[in-house]
Every structure is written in C-alpha cells, then in structure tokens.
C-alpha cells in the first residue's frame, strides 16, 4: 500500500554516519513530480549517500524517505520498481552496439517488443544513426545518453542521475543536458546530483545545496538569487567566455570544428 503521495520524493530528518564520520545530519527536501531537482554540493558533501539511501542500496540511521509514494525502508521492493539509477560512469557494454545494449536490457526486464523499445529510445536520444555501431566507437556524450536511455526502459517515474556529466567535455555535457531536459518534459521526475554550478543553473527547477550534511538552502534559481543583495549596475564591455570561444571554434561538432579551425588558420 502506498503512503500518501504528495511529492515524487520526500525526505525528513535523514541521518547517516560511517563510524565516527557524520555524513548526513538531518536532510529534508521534497521533489515535485515531473520536475528536475538538483542536489548541489562539493565532493564528500553526502550527495551520493542520499541517492544510495533513496535507491534502497543503503539504510539510513535516522529519518524517513519516500519515493513515488513508497517508504524506502518499509516498501523497498516497490521503490525499486519505481526508479532507475544512473551512476557517475556509463554502465554500457562496449562490445555491443547501442541498439543491442538497449535490446538486452529490455529482454532482461521481460519487456514486450524489445526491438521497438530500443528503436524508440535511440530516436528520443538522437542515437538512431549510431545505433548499429559498437559502443566502443561512441563519444563520451553518446555513451552517457545511451546509459540514460537504458535506465528508462520500463518507464520508471523517478530517475536518479548521480553526477551524470563527470569527466565529459563541454559539447558532451550540453548533449546530456538536453537529454535530461527531455526526460522532465516527458513527465519523468529527475533527482540530479552535481558539483557543477552551471549544470544546476541550466537544468533544475529547484536547487538544494548540501553542505556538511545539511541542506543549507533550497529554492528556485530566482529565489536563491534573491538571497543576495542586488548587484550594482555598471557598463562594461562584454568579453566572450571560454564556452563562447569553444563553441565558436568548434561549431558544435568535431567536423565543423575542423573546418572552422582551418578557416581561422587561413586568415
């Protein structure tokens, strides 16, 4: 039987220690259905511990947590049926093609028409043309998008993305960001852990900052900005950012970038 369902994810007073190290010191937050919630914090802040508790891989010392209306401790089987977890490194088989990876997971989950499921996900994540290639030939962004696509087989209402862009180059990060936005657009609830400020800013409907085991702020980007005094407005000449330069010279793809560099060298 489900608990009262008001939030897709709900934490109250969550605590966790590893021997004498207190990692979580009473964590509270709610995630609305179909939204992207960013849990922002530095390395060692406890983000992954929160995800492991919510995904039933770890037991909390104190407090309560519910996912999709199910209590994490008392209804763990129901929670596992409601979620998918994507870790910091893509869990894909490099020997198989992208399509074969998807078909394999669909069969393991006893889904009907695994081929059709694979083709649909390849299309959703812009991987159709690469679907027949071995994953060993994929870029980092393509692997991560495939990994997220695999996690969606079975249509889980809640997905946990634990630092999904760790180690990716700028272009690959943007590709993953678009995939995450599409997830929420289709109604999936996304809990995203990240240490990248720009990632939280780009993706999240709400942002919570986890620091020394506690949530110190929680709100929309506008609400968080409103916590600081207004900046003094001065006229300055805007200089391009490193990101502007990167995409200007690469043109958004390896092929275009080579052409652009060649053009620049000729000037």
pLDDT (mean) for 231-248? 68
Taken in order 196, 201, 204, 209, the sign of the CA dihedral is positive
Residue-wise pLDDT tens digits, 137-147: 998 888 888 98
Centre a 10 Å sphere on the Cβ of residue 52 and count the other Cβ atoms it contains: 17
Residue-wise pLDDT tens digits, 113-134: 999 999 999 998 889 999 999 9
145 vs 14 pLDDT, higher one: 14
Q: What are the angstrom distances between the C-alpha of 238 and each of 144, 198, 230, 235?
A: 34, 19, 20, 9
Residue-wise pLDDT tens digits, 106-117: 999 889 999 999
Contacts of residues 126-130 at CB distance under 8 Å and 24 or more positions apart, as own/partner, are 126/175, 127/98, 130/98
198 vs 68 pLDDT, higher one: 68
12 vs 169 pLDDT, higher one: 12
pLDDT band, residue 185 (cuts 50/70/90): confident
Average pLDDT, the chain: 85
Angle at 118 between CA 117 and CA 123, to 5 degrees: 100
3-state secondary structure at position 75: coil
User: Structurally, what CATH architecture does the domain formed by 9-228 represent?
Assistant: 3-Layer(aba) Sandwich (3.40)
Q: In which order are the strands placed within the sheet that holds 21-31? A: 21-31, 9-18, 62-67, 70-71
pLDDT value at residue 113: 93
Paired tokens of 248: 């200007």
Among 53-67, 139-153, 190-204, 252-266, the range scoring the smallest mean pLDDT is 252-266
How does DSSP assign 167-230, residue by residue?
T--HHHHHHHHHHHHHHHHTT-EEEEEES-HHHHHHH-SEEEEEETTEEEEEE-HHHHHTTSPP
Q: For residue 154, report the phi and psi dihedrals to the nearest 5 degrees.
A: 100, -5
Paired tokens of 259: 């052409």
Q: In which order are the strands placed within the sheet that holds 189-194? A: 83-86, 158-162, 189-194, 36-40, 206-211, 214-219
pLDDT (mean) for 40-47? 86
245 vs 60 pLDDT, higher one: 60
Q: pTM for the full model?
A: 0.79
pLDDT value at residue 252: 61
As a 3-state breakdown, the chain gives helix, strand, coil percent values, each rounded to 5, of: 40, 25, 40
Share of the chain above pLDDT 70, in %: 85
Give the integer Cα–Cα distance in Å for 218 and 208.
Answer: 4
Of 199, 218, 223, the residue nearest 207 (C-alpha): 218
CATH 3.40.50.300 in the chain, residues? 9-228
pLDDT value at residue 178: 86
């Amino acid at each position: 039987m489900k608990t009262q369902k008001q939030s897709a994810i709900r934490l109250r007073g969550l605590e966790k220690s590893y021997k004498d190290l207190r990692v979580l010191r009473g964590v509270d937050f709610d995630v609305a259905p179909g939204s992207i919630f960013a849990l922002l914090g530095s390395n060692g802040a406890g983000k992954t511990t929160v995800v492991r508790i919510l995904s039933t891989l770890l037991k909390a010392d104190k407090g309560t947590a519910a996912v999709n209306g199910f209590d994490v401790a008392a209804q763990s089987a129901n929670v596992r049926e409601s979620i998918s977890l994507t870790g910091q490194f893509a869990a894909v088989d490099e020997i198989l093609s992208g399509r074969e990876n998807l078909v394999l997971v669909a069969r393991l989950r006893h889904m009907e028409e695994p081929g059709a499921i694979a083709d649909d996900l390849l299309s959703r994540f812009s991987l159709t043309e690469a679907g027949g290639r071995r994953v060993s030939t994929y870029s980092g962004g393509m692997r991560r998008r495939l990994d997220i696509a695999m996690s969606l087989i079975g249509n889980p209402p809640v997905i946990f993305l634990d630092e999904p862009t760790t180690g990716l180059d700028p272009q690959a990060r943007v590709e993953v960001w678009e995939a995450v936005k599409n997830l929420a657009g289709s109604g999936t609830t996304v809990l995203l852990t990240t240490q990248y400020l720009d990632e939280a800013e780009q993706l999240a409907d709400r942002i919570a900052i986890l620091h020394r085991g506690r949530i110190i702020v929680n709100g929309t980007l506008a609400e968080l900005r409103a916590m600081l005094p207004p900046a003094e407005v001065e006229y300055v000449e805007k200089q391009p950012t490193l990101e502007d330069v990167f995409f200007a010279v690469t043109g958004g793809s390896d092929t275009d970038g080579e052409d652009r560099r060649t053009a620049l060298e000729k000037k």
